[in-house]
Structure formats: C-alpha cells, structure tokens
C-alpha cells in the first residue's frame, strides 16, 4: 500500500477550479492510490498530446526555450494548473502559475516582443495562485496586445487565465467556461468499519480535524465550506467580468452555473470572441501587429 500525502493534499479537502469531469477522474482513478485505499480497477483518461498553434510553432517543443517568432511570444497554459513549480512545463502534463508569471514578467519588459499569445488547453487546477496569475496576465494585456487561442479547452482556472487576454478565440470543437469551484471529500468510515478498523483522532481545537477522511463532514462545517466555495465562485465571476468588460457581466457569468460552452455557443454567451482554426488566428494576429506597427 502506498500513500502520497502531498498529492492527496492538492486533490482533496481544498477548493479547486477544475472541470467536474476531471474531478471525477481524480476521485475514481487516483483517489484509491493517493489515499491508500485497496487497489481498484482504475480507468485513467489518456492525456492527448498538447496542441500547438499552427505548423510554425512545431519546432518550439522544448520547455526550456522561450517560444517566440516574428515579435510574437507564446505562453503555454496547458494541462493541470498548479501553484508552485517555476520550471514545471507542459511536457509533464502540468503548468505552474509561478512559471506563467515569470514568463509574463520577462515578456512585458522585452522590447522585441510586439504581442503575446496565450495557448490554452486546460481543464483547470488549483485555486491557490490562480487569481494572482490571472491578474499578472491581465497587466501584461494592458501593456501589450494579447490573444488567447484555445487548443481546445479553457475550463475553470484555465478559463480564468484565458479571460485575461484582450481577446479569446475558440475552435469549433473547443469548450470553455466552468466558472465555478469544486472540492472533494472522501468518507472512508464505512470501509474502515467493514475492515474492522477504527481511527481515533486526537485534536486540540474543535475544527482541527475538519475534512478528515475517517468520518462524515459535520453539517455545520459542510454549510460553511459550501458558503466559502460560493464566495470563490462570485469572485471568479467578478474577475472574468472585469477582464471581459462589455462582453460578459458578472451576472451573466454567474448565470452560467458553471456550465461549459462549445464553439459558437461560447461566443454567443460572451465567453469567447470568435470561432476560428488556431493556425488561421496566428496568421491574422501577426498581420494585425504588422499593420499596427506600420
């Protein structure tokens, strides 16, 4: 039996801005492993290869190299989003907010960069660090032209970061939204009882052991947690509404009730600005920057 406390602490008992389908995969597939439960039949969703915006970007596969061409720089926002890990890159299936912020800082101060593309393909991730990262990208968008190109998903925290760009382009098959917050708790008490095991929790402080997996969540604690998740959802909606001023209001963002929207429906809902193939958008963005410079 293995335990992975660091991984478990990021998955369970903490707010996540994550698409629910990914949360379901975590709960069913990885939960038994990281929580040390008996092995179960596990079906892990295969991660598809990360998308690249057009053939000209095909050579920029090394995470250690800055992706830049013709005065356009690229920030990859792909895979699961985590707070720490400055050098975490998409090759490992994760992107860190810390790393994105570092790139944004460097690009804003670089006079050779005329514009920045956020290449987004993420179902979301951790709440911790997400708003700070989004605000840094929004500041970059005030300083230089930015464009978020979805290849193909921008959900939850992924959408929060995408919304910080001046415009969002989504492919016909792409999805975005999921403006909400989720948290998962595993109640192992029934399994422990079945196995004849009893866990005694010694604590000093009434709420010291809140959300432990060995007992059900008390009703008052559950109500408080749900209220806090709702506060985060309202903050999420307010933030994307500020970024997308005139195109998406806070009320409209809340009214989505964390739904996701595909292609043109995302544009109609104010979550994106246009439907187009990523490669076409790259060419148009480069041409627009050329006209602006001229």
The catalytic residues are: 156
Q: What is the CA radius of gyration of the chain?
A: 21
233 vs 237: CA distance, rounded Å:
6
In whole angstroms, give the CA distance from residue 226 to residue 237.
17
| Cα gap 129→170, rounded to integer Å | 25
Torsion of CA 39, 43, 49, 50, to 10 degrees: -80
Closest CA relative to residue 226, chosen from 181, 177, 189: 181
72, β-bridge pairs: 69, 115
Q: E strands of 70-219, at which residues?
A: 72-82, 94-96, 115-126, 146-155, 167-170, 175-177
Omega cis (within 30) before 269: no
* DSSP single-letter state for residue 17: E
């Amino acid at each position: 039996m293995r335990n992975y406390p660091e991984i478990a602490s990021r998955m369970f008992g903490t707010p996540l801005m994550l698409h629910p389908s990914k949360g379901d995969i975590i709960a069913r597939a990885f939960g038994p492993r990281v929580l040390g439960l008996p092995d179960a039949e596990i079906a892990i969703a295969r991660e598809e290869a990360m998308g690249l915006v057009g053939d000209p970007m095909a050579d920029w596969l090394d995470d250690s190299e800055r992706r830049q061409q013709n005065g356009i720089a690229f920030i990859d926002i792909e895979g699961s989003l985590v707070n720490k890990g400055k050098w975490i890159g998409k090759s490992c299936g994760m992107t860190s907010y810390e790393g994105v912020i570092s790139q944004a800082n460097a690009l804003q101060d670089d006079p050779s960069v005329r514009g920045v593309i956020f290449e987004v393909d993420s179902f979301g991730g951790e709440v911790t660090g997400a708003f700070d990262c989004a605000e840094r990208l929004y500041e970059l968008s005030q300083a230089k032209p930015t464009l978020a190109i979805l290849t193909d998903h921008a959900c939850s925290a992924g959408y929060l970061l995408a919304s910080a760009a001046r415009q969002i382009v989504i492919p016909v098959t792409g999805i975005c939204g999921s403006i909400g917050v989720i948290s998962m708790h595993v109640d192992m008490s029934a399994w422990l009882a079945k196995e004849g095991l009893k866990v005694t929790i010694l604590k000093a402080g009434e709420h010291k052991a809140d959300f432990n997996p060995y007992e059900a969540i008390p009703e008052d604690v559950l109500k408080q947690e749900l209220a806090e998740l709702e506060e985060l959802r309202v903050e999420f909606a307010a933030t994307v509404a500020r970024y997308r001023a005139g195109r998406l209001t806070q009320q409209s963002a809340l009214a989505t009730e964390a739904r996701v929207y595909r292609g043109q429906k995302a544009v109609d809902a104010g979550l994106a600005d246009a439907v187009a193939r990523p490669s076409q958008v790259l060419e148009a963005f480069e041409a627009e920057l050329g006209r602006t410079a001229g």
